[in-house]
Structure formats: C-alpha cells, structure tokens
C-alpha cells in the first residue's frame, strides 16, 4: 500500500526558501548549487522512515525514564578522518560507554552517533582574518576546506556530494559493525582499547568479566541470547545546511509524509532556532525525531513556542531539548525552563550537552574544556531533574575514540602543556577515549541516584 502525498505538504518543504535563514554559505554560483541539489535528490536515501520512527519510540521511552540516550561523536567530522580505524574507534567508545551505562544502571541505552553527516558548522563570523588576509570562515567540510587559502575557503557545492558519499560509506561501516557481530556482548572485552593499568580501563575489564559470567549463566540456563548480538545504532547531525537537507528529504510511500533521510535524528542549533527562521520552518515539516539546543538565555516561553512549532500535538519522542547551560549556570537556569515545559504537559526528552557551555581558552592558547566542568554540568543536570521529579533523559557529548589531548583533566590529568601533545580537532575539543569511559562510570552513579 502506498499513500499519495498531499501536494500542499510537498510544497511546504520549500517555504523555508522565503524565510530568514542564518549560517548558510555564500555560494559563488547559484546554478552550480541547483545542479548539485538535483543530483542529490536523485540519490538513494541514507536512512529509512521506519528507522526514524523506531528511534522516535525509543526517545519517547527515554522521556519517561525507561531508557537513556547516549549521543556522541565529533564536533565536526572531516572527509579525511572518515577512515575505518577512526570510525571503529568511535563506535567502540560509544559501545563501551553504552555497556557501562546499560549494565550499571539496568536501563536500555539509545545509541546515537554525531556521525555520518556531522559536516556543517555554524560560525560566529562569516570571515576569518590572519596576518591582514581575510577569507571566508571554515564552515565544515561539506562547504569549504580548513586550509587558509582562497581556493580551500571558497564554498564549493560539489562538497555536498562528497559529504553524501562519505556519510554513506560511514553509515555502511557503522551498520556492518553494529549488526555483523562486532557489537555483540560476547565480545565486550575486545572493545577495550587501553592499558588496563589505567583506572577507567581496569574498571571496564572488571565489568566485562561480570558480563561474561552473566552471559554464560544465561546460556547455561537455556535463555535466548539473540538480543545480545547486535545493537540499533542511529545517526544524527546538526540540521544546518538546508541545501543538503532539502534534497535528501523524501516522501515515505507508506504514510505519504516527508522524512529527512540524511540521518535518523537532526538537531537545530542554538544559533538557528529562531521561531520564524528557515530552519524551524523546514524541520517542523519532516517526521524525524528532532532536537533543539537550548543555551543559558533560553526562556520558558521560548521553549513553549518551540514546542508549538515543532511538536504542536505533543507526540512523545518527537522533540528532545538538549540543554547546554554551563557548569556554573545549570543549577540556576535549568529549573525554571524544566518547570515551565513540564507544566505545559506535552512531553519532551531532556538531554544534557555538557560540552558547549564550558569552553575556555588555555593559558597556552588552546580552545579547551575542563573535564571537571563537564562532569559538574552533568551532575547539575541530574540534581535539577531529581529535585523537580522530572527525567534526565540522556547525554550529548563530543568525543573521539582516540587518545587525543583536547580536554583538560581526567584521571590522566591532561594539563596545559599536555594539550599540545595531540590536539587535533578543527573546531571544538573532544573527550578522548579514556575520558569518555570515565564519564560513563560517573554517570552510572548519577543514574543510580536519579
Ligand atoms: N542489543 C542490546 C542493546 O542494544 C544488548 C547489546 C548488544 C549491547 N551489544 C551491546 C548493549 C553493546 C550495549 C553495548 O542494548
Ligand atoms: Mn561543537
């Protein structure tokens, strides 16, 4: 059975073109963008409507406290880093965190990567000046190159196609890893990456041994362990570049409704979530579960107005509010927001982004964050929800599976000088593998108290 789409629904997908739109590049040639958009519109979808619906149901469970969301990955993915090793290490890290949380808190974990499409970045300025030379700012690999030359920095629409193909190959590997045996709990030991001398790693080894015993016990009892062999893993990115999101939006033949098939989950950033903006209009018209980032200036009325636009009927799982207040503010500012939204009655899933409100510049000049601030915001998020009787539904973090040195602190005590050792990010500092695991162990303690 297929349902014909309502022509008004299809026409609605282009309304954003006449609305104020922030954070888009200035393409040198509009006809080139047209050509690329037409090409993208003819390529297969990267995800399917039914998968987005399944994720929506799992996010609804998280809004009730029956699951916990773990969303993690790079601040900005790059084409060059879409290698098998990098993807595998990131997946391993997220699986390890997920297993720590699932086992430690006895809760299903909804696993989502900032992966397979996280290529567009909002910037505070359109241009960057170095030594008297001014060029367009780097807006992510889907738009221009990081290198500070006029060639690299000129927005190039062919990059949209490269982003699509890189997302497709990333997603292909993710699907292979998560359903082809690699993610099986029978291999829980193999995901550990470091020296077990490190406290987070030895703790992990211990937990893995407990899981092994539990699995052997269950098999001995004749229990069905099929559910242990694979995971559902969802892709997510900031829905920023509308010249990309629009052509990847497809009408689902089953329902006749539009889905943005570039990823399962899209979020609208703090800088593009104005109520009358192109972004809010466009995403209000697709069926995917959506996130909106809410920073410290968000009022309760802003949040309600966003619900009116993005989830008017109050469908559970449709809307996730990702709060990023900063460690120093979360305990003061989050309660009023949560209270106002809760009083409204329409459900949202509350997720904590403890990264973006905690940026600092190190004495040595690096853009960094302190692990202790990150964890303090997470703790504040749990405290606020516990005090209000509402549900802390998940975490949204910037991480990598490698041993980079971009965030200060953690048990390995990365200090100011240490940052220089392996600072590789092009945009924001990410938790390294070991800091990510440490975070998971600490969040277990918070979940047990929640
Ligand atoms: N399928 C279950 C789940 O996703 C169990 C599972 C299998 C799992 N592999 C995992 C859980 C890896 C966490 C990490 O929860
Ligand atoms: Mn970031």
pLDDT in tens, 96-131: 999 999 999 999 999 999 999 999 999 999 999 999
Domain count, the chain: 1
Which ligand sits nearest to residue 186's alpha carbon?
1
Question: What value does the mean pLDDT take over residues 54-66?
Answer: 98
Nearest to 54 by CA among 265, 196, 306, 202: 265
pLDDT score of 225: 84
Taking 90 as the threshold, does the pLDDT of residue 2 lie above it?
no
3-state SS assignment for residue 296: coil
How many Å lie between the centroid of ligand 2 and the Cα of residue 317?
A: 24
Mean model confidence pLDDT for the chain = 96
Please report the atom of ligand 1 found closest to the CA of residue 111. Answer: 4
Q: Given pLDDT bands bounded at 50, 70 and 90, which one contains residue 63? A: very high
- Which residue, 289, 261, 283, 300, is CA-closest to 349? 289
> Cβ(93) to ligand 1 under 6 A?
no
What pLDDT does residue 348 have?
Answer: 98
pLDDT for the residue 193:
75
d(CA 97, ligand 1 centre) in Å = 11
Tell me the mean pLDDT in the region 367-379.
97
Is 242 contained in some domain? yes
Q: Residue 301 pLDDT more than 80?
A: yes
Task: Using a pLDDT cut of 90, give the percent of the chain over it.
Answer: 94
Q: Residue 200 domain-assigned?
A: no
183 lines ligand 1 (CB under 6 A): yes
Question: Does the Cβ of 352 fall within 6 Å of ligand 1?
Answer: no
Q: What is the mean pLDDT of residues 287-291?
A: 98
pLDDT of residue 207: 93
Alpha helices in 180-291 (DSSP H): 199-220, 242-245, 278-284
Q: Alpha helices, DSSP H only, in 70-118?
A: 84-105
Residue whose tokens read 């005590």 = 413
* Residue 190 lies inside a defined structural domain of this protein: no
The answer to whether position 211 is within a domain reads no
Atom of ligand 1 nearest to the CA of 188: 12
State which ligand 1 atom lies nearest to the alpha carbon of 108: 15
Residue 412 has pLDDT above 80, yes or no: yes
Of all protein residues, the one whose alpha carbon is nearest to atom 5 of ligand 1 is 228
| Mean pLDDT for the stretch of residues 53-73 | 98
Residue 386 within a domain: yes
DSSP string, 401-445: SS----SBBTTTTB-TTGGGGG---SSS--B-HHHHHHHHHHHHH
How large a percentage of the chain has pLDDT more than 70? 99
Residue 366 contacts by C-beta under 8 Å, 6 or more apart in sequence? 406, 419, 420, 423, 429
Q: Is 189 part of a structural domain of the chain?
A: no
- Across the range 243-256, mean pLDDT stands at 97
pLDDT of residue 422: 95
Asked, for residue 202, whether it belongs to a domain, the answer is no
Assess whether the C-beta atom of 163 lies below 6 angstroms from ligand 1. Answer: no
Identify the CATH number of the domain in which residue 311 sits: 3.20.20.70
The answer to whether the CB of 100 is under 6 A from ligand 1 is: no
Residue numbers of the domain that contains 115: 7-183+230-449
The pLDDT confidence band at residue 197, using thresholds 50, 70 and 90, is: confident
Residue 73 lies in a domain: yes
């Amino acid at each position: 059975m297929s349902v014909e789409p309502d022509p008004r629904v299809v026409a609605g997908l282009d309304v954003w073109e006449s609305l104020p739109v922030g954070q888009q590049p200035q393409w040198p040639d509009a006809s080139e963008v047209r050509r690329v958009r037409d090409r993208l519109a003819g390529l297969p979808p990267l995800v399917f409507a039914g998968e987005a619906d399944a994720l929506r149901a799992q996010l609804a469970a998280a809004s009730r406290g029956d699951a916990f969301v773990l969303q993690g990955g790079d601040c900005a993915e790059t084409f060059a880093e879409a290698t098998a090793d990098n993807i595998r290490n990131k997946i391993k890290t997220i699986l390890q965190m997920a297993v720590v949380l699932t086992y430690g808190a006895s809760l299903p974990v909804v696993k989502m990567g900032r992966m397979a499409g996280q290529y567009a970045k909002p910037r505070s300025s359109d241009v960057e000046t170095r030594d008297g030379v001014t060029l367009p700012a780097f807006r992510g690999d889907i738009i221009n190159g990081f290198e500070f030359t006029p060639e690299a920095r000129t927005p190039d629409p062919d990059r949209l196609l490269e982003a699509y193909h890189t997302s497709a190959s990333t997603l292909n590997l993710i699907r292979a890893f998560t359903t082809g045996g690699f993610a099986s709990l029978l291999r829980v030991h193999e995901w550990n990456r470091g020296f077990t001398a490190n406290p987070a790693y030895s703790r992990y080894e211990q937990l893995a041994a407990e899981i092994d015993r539990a699995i052997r016990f269950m098999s001995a009892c004749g229990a069905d362990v099929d559910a242990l062999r694979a995971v559902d893993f969802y892709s997510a990115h900031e829905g920023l570049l509308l010249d990309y999101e629009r052509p990847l939006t497809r009408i689902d033949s089953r329902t006749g409704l539009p889905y943005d098939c570039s990823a399962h989950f899209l979020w609208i950033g703090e800088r593009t979530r104005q109520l009358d903006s192109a972004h809010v209009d466009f995403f209000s018209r697709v069926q995917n579960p959506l996130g909106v980032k809410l920073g410290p200036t968000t009022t309760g009325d802003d949040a309600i107005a966003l619900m009116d636009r993005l989830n008017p009927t109050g469908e559970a799982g449709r809307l996730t509010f990702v709060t990023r207040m900063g460690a120093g503010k979360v305990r003061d500012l989050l309660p009023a927001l949560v209270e106002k939204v809760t009083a409204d009655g329409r459900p949202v899933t509350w997720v904590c982004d403890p990264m973006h409100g905690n940026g600092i510049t190190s004495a040595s000049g690096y853009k960094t964050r302190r692990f202790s601030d990150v964890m303090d915001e997470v703790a504040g998020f749990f405290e606020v929800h516990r005090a209000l009787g509402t549900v802390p539904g998940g975490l949204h973090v910037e991480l990598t599976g490698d041993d980079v040195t971009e965030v200060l602190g953690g048990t390995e005590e990365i200090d100011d000088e240490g940052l220089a050792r392996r600072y590789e990010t092009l945009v924001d500092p990410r938790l390294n593998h070991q800091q990510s695991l440490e975070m998971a162990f600490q969040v277990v303690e918070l979940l047990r108290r929640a």
